[in-house]
Structure 1
Amino acid sequence: MAGETEVAAAPELALADTDINWARLDKTRFHVIGAILFTAQQALLHPTTVVKTRMQVSDPEFSRLRAISVFRSILRNDGIPGIFRGFGTSAVGALPGRVLALTSLEMSKDMMLGYTEHIDMPEASRIGIANGVGGMLSNLISCVYFVPLDVISQRLMVQGLPGTTHYNGPFDAISKVLRTEGFRGLYRGFGLTSVTQSPASALWWGTYGTAQHVIWRSLGYREDSDKRPSNLEMVSVQATAGMVAGACSSVVTTPIDTVKTRLQVMDDYGAGRPSVLKTAKVLIEEDGWWGFHRGFGPRFLNMSLYGTTMIVTYELIKRLSVKQQG
């Protein structure tokens, strides 16, 4: 999916105000502030992830409930801790992965800007290409770290449901997965995740760039105009475009996410190692083709909110991390 990446290029009028490159950042402040703010963002959105995951993995009757009904059911049975299952593992575990993702993103973006410096193309296109390549490489690199983390945190979210195993915390989950499936068990769904995240990221950023361009033009901004946007306008346009991108991306990627989630957490597929085809077959048998869109409502909400808050949060982090001029 879309990762935590640099804001895609707005029309050239806004580039001077929005583009803060890797060389201008205080790296320590960047990672510390990023860890704090992105963990807070993750905490706000985690309940929607739990609801989505439960709906994708549970039996067909439960999965057909409305998302709000599933949310109430979790609260009724497990209380507040139920809607934050797996959060500690996900949040703490994500800290080193986030450093890896953000560093690889910014460095690869800067490298692409250097490679295209002497190519005759609009500056907005150069920055857009650099952002896209940076996001793609960052996703591929971070998959190596984040897939095992997803496997463990998602197993903690759904334990207790039919076909799942009970765990006494993340280390017990890691131990049981390694004992029953070996190291490969921690990388269930890795191929599907790595192969699909790159086009999903391209879709996200493509939609984001298009939406932002349309919004800027509808507000009367043109590349040849001296009119400058205010900070409030920039944040509003970025947030709106991010929400649109997240919503559009969720429509296309939910079927893949459903298969990936079930592949990573389910243990009841009979003899042999779980596979994408076996997982898809079980989904169709249980719920028809609609089964691939299990959890669409909370995923749509999660990705829409994520797109909005990620863009605003990331831009704030970079502004707060600019090196002080001495």
Structure 2
Amino acid sequence: MEEERCTAAAADEIRRLPAEVNWEMLDKSRLFVLGTTLFSGVSVTLYPAVIVKTHLQVAPPPQAAAAIVRAILSHDSLRGFYMAAFEATKSSVGPAAVRLGVSEPAALAIASAAAGVSAAVAAQVVWTPVDVISQRL
């Protein structure tokens, strides 16, 4: 009986939702925070698997995925799975912003944003051609 009431309440809630959601109706702060968090979480979770897959595709057969993971970790450590552009940009933009007179917390925020952009651009410069080639093959 309780389950039927919960199901009916959920159905009523769905019926009250608008048929179309437009930009003005969205809570942008939640959208940006949740969108960024979810996208980053998915990227961090899946990127190492993509790196291993790419190594397996270009390695002479037969190669085990575990051997590829060990080789990447021993040669590049955990940073080998992620773009180095993030750290390089962050470490150069932060001090430059402080030298320009920006407060340290603001400089950190600017450096983090610039690092995220540069890492995304670097990833796309590498990822998009690799993805196109691998899908065409």
Task: Give the TM-score, by structure 1 length.
Answer: 0.23
Bigger fraction of residues in helix:
2
Please identify the structure whose Cα radius of gyration is greater.
2
Bigger relative contact order (CA 8 A; separation at least 6): 1
Task: Give the TM-score, by structure 2 length.
Answer: 0.48
